[in-house]
C-alpha cells in the first residue's frame, strides 16, 4: 500500500477545491486529471534518462503541485530548484541531481540563460507551445503499475550555509508518514484549508503542509511568494485555518501595521521552526492563532514537536526507557551530557557541561541519505548514531532545549553559551524585529558574542545612535536571565536581516563581515578596556580607529592571523535579500 499515491487517486470525481490562490480555483478531480496528463508526459520524456529526475524551477503555483502529484504517480523524482540561486551555482544544482527534464515558467526562464543544459529538456509551462505538448495526454489514466512506497519522490536541498547544498533523498513512504503524523496530531480534515506561503521547493512546505493536507483531502491555498502584507488578507479570503512557517516569516507578519480586526480570522494553528518564543506569544495575542514550534530537518533523522506542557524554551521530549533514542552528547567523546540546570531567573548554570550535540541512537530513523554524497551521509551516520549537527541541552525532566547550530557554538571565557538562549532574550527588546547571535573571535582566546538586530523602520531611521545605545543597554540590564557573559560585545543594527530563500537567517555573511559596518548599518560595541564581567553594559559607536585598536590587540596576543582576511573571499560573500514584504 502506498498512502501518498492513494491520496492522489482519492481525488477522482471530487468537487471540493484542492487548490486555490491568486486568481484560480481547481477542484480535486481537475487536479488529478492534470497530474495524470503530466505523469504520462513524464513517462515518455524520462524513459531513456539515466535517472527519472525532473527539476521544478517554479514559484508556488498550481503547476508545482500538479507536477508533484504527477511524479508520485509516475515514480519519478522531483528536484526542487531554488530560484534564488544563480549562474554556476544554479547549474551545479541541476547537474548534481541529474535532472533530465526541467520545468519552469517564463518569468524564471532568464535564470537558465547562458547555462550549459546540453542533454536536458526544458518545458515552459506558460509558454506558447506547452498546451500543444500536453494535448496528447489530456485523457491519460494513472500509469500502471503504480510505484511502491520506497520509490524516491524528492531531492530537497539543504541551505548550503557551510558549503555546496546537499540534496536530501526522500521516498514516498517517508513523506506520507511525516504528513500523516501531522494530519493526525493537528486534526486536519477534508474541511480544512492550509495556506502555503513558504516555498514548495523546501521541506517545510512539502512535509508540513502539502503532504498532510493531501492525505486529509483538504484544500491548499497558494501564494507565489511569501508576502507579509498579503498574509492576513489571503488567510481570510481562502478560509485558511493552518499554515507553516520558517525563520523570519512570523517576524515579518508581526511587523505589518496593526489593525483593529487582526483577531477576526479563521486561523487556529501555525507549525514551523525558529519563530522564537517572543514572536510566538505576540502572534497568538494579535491573531488568536497558536504557533507550534518544532525541531527537525530535511534529512528526517530527528524530529521534536512542542508539547503544550513544555516549560519555556523547550522544544519537546521523548519517552523514557529503551525506546528513548534521542540524547545530548559530547561531540568529542560521545558521552551523554549531564542534565542542564537553571537558576530561579532561568539562567543556564552549567552550559559548559550540559550543551552537546543532539543524536538519534536509532541511526536510520528517517534519514535516507544524500544524493551522490556518501561522505556527507557517513558524517551524519557515525558509530551507529544519527548526528544532527545541532546543539542542545536537556533538563532533568527530559525536556530538550535548542542551543544553536553547530556553527553557532560560542565559547566565552572558557564557558559554552547557547546562541538560542541569547537570541530569545534579545528578541524581547521592543524595537527588535529579528535577532541573530553569532561568534566573533576574541583577541586572547575563544569567542566574543556579536548580535545583528533588525529594527523597526521607525526606530532605525528616527533614533539617534546614543539614544539607541542607551536604550539597548537599559534593556539588557533589566533582563534577569541574562548571564554575565551573554551581553553582546558587538551589536550591528540593520534595516533588513539577511535571509535565505527559505526565510532562515543567513549568518554566513554576518560572520565574515564581523564588526565591519556595511552600508547604512550601525555597529556599536563595549570597548574591552571599559568593561568587566559584572559591569552594566555601556555601548558606543564602533569607529574606524576602534578597528585599528582591535587589530592591534589581536597582534599583541599573537592572533593576527585570526582576523586576517582574504579580500577576494570577502567580496564573494553574498548577503541575500529578504523575500518580498509588500
Asked if residue 98 lies in contact with residue 62, where contact means CB atoms within 8 angstroms, the answer is no
Q: Contacts by 290-298 with C-beta closer than 8 Å and gap 24+?
A: 291/245, 291/250, 292/186, 295/390, 295/400, 295/402, 297/203, 297/388, 298/156, 298/157, 298/158, 298/168, 298/170, 298/202, 298/203
Distance CA 504, CA 517 (A): 22
Classify residue 576 by its DSSP letter: P
Helix spans in 57-113 (H):
62-74, 87-96
Local confidence pLDDT in tens for the 582 residues of the chain: 899 999 999 999 999 999 999 999 999 999 999 999 999 999 999 999 999 999 999 999 999 999 999 999 999 999 999 998 888 889 999 999 999 999 999 999 999 999 999 999 999 999 999 999 999 999 999 999 999 999 999 999 986 544 578 999 999 999 999 999 999 999 999 999 999 999 999 889 999 999 999 999 999 999 999 999 999 999 999 999 999 998 678 888 998 999 999 999 999 999 988 777 778 889 999 999 999 888 877 788 888 876 767 777 788 887 544 446 899 999 889 999 999 998 887 888 888 899 899 999 886 668 899 999 999 898 899 888 999 888 899 999 999 988 777 666 677 876 777 788 899 899 999 999 899 999 888 887 778 999 999 988 887 666 678 888 999 999 999 988 888 888 999 999 988 888 887 778 888 788 888 888 777 789 999 987 644 445 567 899 999 899 888 888 888 777 776 665 433 333 333 333 333 334
Q: Which residues of 471-503 are buried (b: 16+ CB within 10 A; e: fewer)?
A: bbbebbeebebbbebbbbbbbbbbbbbbbbbbb
CA 101 to chain centre: 27
Judged by phi (left if over 0) then psi (alpha if -120 to 50, else beta), residue 288 lies in left
- pLDDT for 185-225, tens place per residue? 999 999 999 999 999 998 899 999 999 999 999 999 999 99
409: cell is: 557554538
- pLDDT for 133-157, tens place per residue? 999 999 999 999 999 999 999 999 9
Rounded to the nearest 5 degrees, what angle is found at the Cα of 104, between the Cα atoms of 216 and 371?
70
List of domains in the chain: 3-225 (3.40.50.12780), 306-408 (2.30.38.10), 415-571 (3.30.300.30)
As a three-state string, the secondary structure of 103-158 is EECCCCHHHHCCCCCCCCEEEECCCCCHHHHHHHHCCCCCCCCCCCCCCEEEEEEC
Helices and strands, counts by H and E, the chain: 20, 27
Asked if residue 147 lies in contact with residue 2, where contact means CB atoms within 8 angstroms, the answer is yes
Give the pTM: 0.79
Rounded to the nearest 5 degrees, what angle is found at the Cα of 333, between the Cα atoms of 390 and 299?
30
Strand, coil or helix: 549: helix
Distance CA 334, CA 386 (A): 12
CA 398 to chain centre: 25
Count, residues in the chain? 582
Amino acid at each position: 500500500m502506498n498512502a501518498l499515491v492513494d491520496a492522489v487517486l482519492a481525488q477522482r470525481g471530487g468537487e471540493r477545491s484542492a487548490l486555490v490562490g491568486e486568481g484560480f480555483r481547481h477542484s480535486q478531480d481537475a487536479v488529478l486529471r492534470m497530474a495524470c496528463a503530466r505523469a504520462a508526459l513524464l513517462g515518455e520524456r524520462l524513459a531513456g534518462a539515466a535517472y527519472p529526475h525532473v527539476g521544478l524551477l517554479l514559484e508556488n503555483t498550481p503547476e508545482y503541485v500538479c507536477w508533484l502529484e504527477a511524479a508520485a504517480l509516475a515514480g519519478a523524482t522531483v528536484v526542487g530548484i531554488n530560484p534564488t540561486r544563480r549562474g554556476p551555482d544554479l547549474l551545479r544544482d541541476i547537474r548534481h541531481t541529474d535532472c533530465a527534464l526541467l520545468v519552469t515558467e517564463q518569468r524564471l526562464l532568464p535564470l537558465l540563460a547562458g547555462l550549459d543544459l546540453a542533454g536536458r529538456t526544458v518545458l515552459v509551462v506558460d509558454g506558447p507551445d506547452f498546451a500543444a505538448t500536453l494535448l496528447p495526454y489530456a485523457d491519460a489514466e494513472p500509469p500502471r503499475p503504480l510505484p511502491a512506497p520506497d520509490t524516491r519522490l524528492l531531492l530537497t536541498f539543504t541551505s548550503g550555509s557551510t558549503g555546496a547544498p546537499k540534496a536530501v533523498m526522500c521516498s514516498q513512504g517517508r513523506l506520507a508518514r511525516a504528513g500523516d503524523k501531522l494530519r493526525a496530531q493537528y486534526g486536519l480534515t477534508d474541511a480544512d484549508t492550509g495556506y502555503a506561503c513558504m516555498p514548495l521547493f523546501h521541506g517545510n512546505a512539502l512535509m508540513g503542509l502539502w503532504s498532510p493536507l493531501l492525505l486529509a483531502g483538504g484544500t491548499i491555498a497558494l501564494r507565489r511568494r511569501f508576502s507579509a502584507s498579503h498574509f492576513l488578507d489571503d488567510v481570510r479570503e481562502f478560509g485558511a485555518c493552518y499554515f507553516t512557517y520558517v525563520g523570519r516569516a512570523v517576524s515579518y507578519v508581526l511587523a505589518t501595521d496593526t489593525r483593529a480586526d487582526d483577531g477576526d480570522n479563521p486561523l487556529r494553528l501555525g507549525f514551523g521552526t525558529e519563530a522564537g518564543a517572543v514572536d510566538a506569544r505576540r502572534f497568538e495575542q494579535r491573531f488568536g492563532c497558536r504557533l507550534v514550534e518544532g525541531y527537525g530537518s530535511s534529512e528526517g533523522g530527528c524530529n521534536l514537536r512542542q508539547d503544550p506542557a513544555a516549560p519555556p524554551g523547550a522544544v519537546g521530549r521523548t519517552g523514557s526507557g529503551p525506546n528513548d533514542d534521542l540524547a545530548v552528547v559530547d561531540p568529542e567523546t560521545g558521552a551523554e551530557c549531564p542534565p542542564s540546570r537553571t537558576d530561579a531567573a532561568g539562567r543556564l548554570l552549567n552550559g559548559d557541561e550540559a550543551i552537546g550535540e543532539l543524536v538519534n541512537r536509532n541511526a536510520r530513523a528517517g534519514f535516507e541519505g544524500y544524493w551522490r554524497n556518501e561522505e556527507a551521509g557517513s558524517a551524519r551516520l557515525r558509530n551507529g548514531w544519527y548526528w544532527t549537527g545541532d546543539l542542545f541541552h536537556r533538563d532533568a525532566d527530559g525536556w530538550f532545549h535548542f542551543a544553536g547550530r553547530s556553527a553557532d557554538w560560542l565559547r566565552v571565557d572558557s564557558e559554552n553559551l547557547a546562541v538560542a538562549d541569547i537570541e530569545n532574550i534579545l528578541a524581547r527588546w521592543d524595537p527588535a524585529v529579528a535577532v541573530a547571535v553569532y561568534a566573533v573571535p576574541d583577541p586572547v582566546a575563544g569567542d566574543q558574542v556579536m548580535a545583528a538586530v533588525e529594527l523597526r523602520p521607525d526606530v532605525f531611521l528616527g533614533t539617534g545612535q546614543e539614544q539607541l545605545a542607551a536604550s539597548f543597554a537599559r534593556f539588557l540590564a533589566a533582563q534577569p536571565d541574562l548571564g554575565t557573559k551573554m551581553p553582546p560585545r558587538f551589536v550591528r543594527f540593520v534595516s533588513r536581516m539577511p535571509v535565505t530563500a527559505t526565510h532562515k537567517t543567513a549568518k554566513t555573511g554576518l560572520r565574515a563581515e564581523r564588526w565591519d559596518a556595511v552600508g547604512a548599518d550601525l555597529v556599536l560595541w563595549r570597548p574591552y578596556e571599559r568593561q568587566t564581567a559584572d559591569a552594566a553594559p555601556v555601548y558606543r559607536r564602533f569607529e574606524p580607529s576602534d578597528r585599528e585598536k582591535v587589530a592591534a590587540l589581536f597582534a599583541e596576543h599573537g592572533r593576527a592571523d585570526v582576523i586576517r582576511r582574504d579580500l577576494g573571499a570577502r567580496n564573494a560573500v553574498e548577503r541575500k535579500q529578504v523575500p518580498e514584504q509588500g
